[in-house]
Amino acid sequence: MHHLRSSSVVVRFRFAALLWSAICLLVPVAVGLLLGSMWTSDFELSLAGSCLALLGMGLVIPQWVAGSHTDCPLCWTPVLAPKGCVKHRRARSFMGSHRLRVALAILFKNQFRCPYCNESTTLALRNTLHSSMNRWSELE
């Protein structure tokens, strides 16, 4: 299992994962609201759907910038950026998206498996792991 090198990298991973999850949630909700407003001819519903669609589109660029700096510690491929690289043959997706699976794993499990090299990474610092191992060796 791999670890990240600094706390700013951990924050960057969580921020990019939160933005990608928000985009994946906002876009279908906005489309549903817009379709529902067309069905019922409700102006307030179409206004809410349009606002959510604009918010979702406004989050794309910050997520693209933050996601391009979320490199896997082993293969150095950004796991939350739209790359055209070949995925590992055992890489699993969630609802057809490898990035959404990585983002949800970061947010809920505090670790992820890289879709490109299929190696597991936990969102903990390397120094934390080594200092806890040193404390155990001192106790023995």
Predicted local distance difference test score (pLDDT) of residue 76 = 86
For residue range 47-76, what is the model confidence (pLDDT) as tens digits? 999 999 999 999 999 999 998 889 888 888
| Residue in 100, 105, 99 with CA at minimum distance from that of residue 120 | 105
Q: What is the pLDDT confidence band of residue 127, given thresholds at 50, 70 and 90?
A: low
Predicted local distance difference test score (pLDDT) of residue 121 = 87
* Residue 13 to residue 115: CA distance in whole angstroms: 15
Under DSSP, is residue 62 helix (H, G, I), strand (E, B) or coil? Answer: helix
* Residue 112 to residue 107: CA distance in whole angstroms: 9
Contact (CB, 8 A) for 92 and 119: no
* Residue 58 to residue 103: CA distance in whole angstroms: 19
| Average pLDDT, rounded, for the chain | 86
Under DSSP, is residue 21 helix (H, G, I), strand (E, B) or coil? Answer: helix
| Residue in 52, 8, 12, 5 with CA at minimum distance from that of residue 28 | 52
Q: What is the reported pTM?
A: 0.81
Contact (CB, 8 A) for 2 and 117: no
Is the predicted pLDDT of residue 139 greater than 90, yes or no?
Answer: no
Averaged over 12-28, what is the pLDDT? Answer: 93
Predicted local distance difference test score (pLDDT) of residue 131 = 54
Range of the domain at 120: 2-139
Q: How many CA atoms lie within 13 A of 19 on its CB side?
A: 21
Q: What are 94's strand-pairing partners?
A: 97
* Domains contained in the chain, number: 1
